[in-house]
Amino acid sequence: MATTAITGARVFDGEKTLGVRTVVLDGRKIRAVGGEAPEGAEVVDGRGATLLPGLIDAHVHSAPGSLALALRFGVTTELEMQGMNTRENRAHITEDDTVADVRSAGFGITPPGGHPSELMPEGFRPAGDLPPVLPLMPFSTTPEEAAAYVPQLLARGSDYIKFMIDDGSVEGHPGLPMLDQATLDAGVAEAKKYGALTVAHTLTLEATRMAVEAGVDGLVHVFMDRPHITEIVDLIAEAGMFVVPCVCLDASMMGITGGDLADDPRVARRLDDKWEKTLRSSYNRYPQGRLDDVLATVRALAEAGVDLLAGTDASMAETFFGGLAHGASLHQELQYLVAAGLTPSQALRAATATTARRFGLTDRGRIAEGLRADVLLVDGDPTTNIGDTLSTRAIWRRGARLE
């Protein structure tokens, strides 16, 4: 693979702005940040542009074509929060530089009939007694069952363990079976024995409280059923948890479409008809919600020093969650984070270095010598105008430039 020198661009290294530097990509890794372009290197003129680490979407559900779509928007890694792209299933993805890389929770621990069973085909739902082996969904109703599933999920390639804490009230399915505190506690404690990262699906304040009490490492939603209270923000901060707000999903749940994003020509030219249709729709299951309350919660978490990670909950085209499209919606999430009060640089960290650090992705998320050559060159300066992240000039995944 050829050596590439990107010259004349401002560099945001995932944590801070370095000013104008030459960045050298050698094979699949970053050889140097600073200095001169080596002799014989292919030189890419980055004047007027900013070089960023490849973006990371910290909450998705993969679908056919979604990893390729994500990469077209400079998202070089997606973190799957429910799906099949566990370690044993993704060798073809790892070696394919035309799609985003992926990590996966596999399937989240939930009771029989619990979320997201109501979204799944009938075959996903349990009928009668479950066999004593791991089914497609790790249904658990007791502490013993939850604890038993953790090592099985890890053995089958889950990169982190997810717990569903959801009674269906926000999604329009009130009364769904939900993990109780004892079962959640047991599952989280078992994961800690294995050193596994734990995350929780929490759309309500009370579900959030349960996750904090259980010692979950991170929340992959911000609660949207009520305004924040200082007590819960302080509990999250004191526990050292991270939060993936998924504001763009909350907006869709409230009936707000991604139409404005789809109208942006920088987005439209990268979408096919089905993804454009999906982006222009909405999930609209919680129209009584208030987006201003969600933004205020995000602002309070940031002010309390909580690590915020950028994620979207993008799923399949024309099914599940309207108003979202892989790759494109992460740029909208960055705009929502800035609207909530983060600086553009803080928002960029939420999609690069902070997410990599919290998920143990030590080889990416920053522009530094020896790391993966996952980088994104954009016109303008997104550290002052976050909308510039969409002005893509070039994308590299492991040093391979996306055509």
Give yes or no: residues 314 and 177 share one domain.
yes
Give yes or no: residues 201 and 269 share one domain.
yes
Beta-carbon count within 10 A of 41 CB? 19
Give yes or no: residues 276 and 403 share one domain.
no
Q: Which residues contact 155 (CB under 8 A, 6 or more apart)?
A: none
pLDDT tens-digit map of 230-248: 999 999 999 999 999 999 9
Q: Give the model's pLDDT for residue 283.
A: 93
Q: Which of 313-317, 340-344, 378-382 has the lowest mean pLDDT?
A: 313-317
Give yes or no: residues 270 and 257 share one domain.
yes
Is there a contact between 172 and 286 (Cβ–Cβ < 8 Å)?
yes
Q: What is the mean pLDDT of the chain?
A: 94
Give yes or no: residues 186 and 109 share one domain.
yes
Give yes or no: residues 341 and 273 share one domain.
yes
Q: 122 pLDDT band (50/70/90 cuts)?
A: low
Number of structural domains found in the chain = 2
Q: Which of 81, 347, 319 has its CA nearest to residue 221?
A: 81
d(CA 51, CA 33): 11
Give yes or no: residues 189 and 310 share one domain.
yes
Q: Give the model's pLDDT for residue 119.
A: 77
Give yes or no: residues 196 and 225 share one domain.
yes
Give yes or no: residues 3 and 61 share one domain.
no
Beta-carbon count within 10 A of 196 CB? 18
Is a pLDDT exceeding 60 seen at residue 254?
Answer: yes
| CATH number (domain holding residue 43) | 2.30.40.10
Positive or negative CA dihedral for 75, 76, 80, 81? negative
Q: Give the model's pLDDT for residue 315.
A: 94
Give yes or no: residues 143 and 37 share one domain.
no
d(CA 178, CA 153): 20
Give yes or no: residues 301 and 380 share one domain.
no
Query: Per-residue DSSP letters for 365-388?
Result: SS--TTSB--EEEEES-TTT-GGG
Q: 121 pLDDT band (50/70/90 cuts)?
A: low
- The runs of H, that is alpha helices, within 351-402 are 353-358
Is there a contact between 89 and 346 (Cβ–Cβ < 8 Å)?
no
Q: 129 pLDDT band (50/70/90 cuts)?
A: very low
Q: Give the model's pLDDT for residue 117.
A: 81
Q: Give the model's pLDDT for residue 133.
A: 39
Is there a contact between 198 and 190 (Cβ–Cβ < 8 Å)?
no
Structure token digits, residue 239: 């526990």
d(CA 158, CA 72): 26
Rg, Å, the chain Cα set? 21
Give yes or no: residues 280 and 369 share one domain.
no
Question: For the chain, how long is the longest CA-to-CA vector?
Answer: 68
Q: Element (H or E) spanning 183, and its range?
A: helix 181-193
- Give the structural domain span for 311: 55-363
Mean local confidence (pLDDT), 21-42? 97
Cα dihedral value 376, 50, 244, 307, nearest 10:
130
Where is the domain boundary, 333, 348, 363?
A: 363
Q: Give the model's pLDDT for residue 319.
A: 66
Q: How many Cα atoms sit within 13 Å of 122 on the Cβ side?
A: 1
Starting from the edge strand earliest in sequence, which strands make up the sheet with 101-104, in order?
Answer: 55-60, 75-80, 101-104
Q: Which residues contact 299 (CB under 8 A, 6 or more apart)?
A: 340, 341
| CATH number (domain holding residue 270) | 3.20.20.140
Q: Element (H or E) spanning 199, and its range?
A: strand 198-202
Q: 317 pLDDT band (50/70/90 cuts)?
A: confident
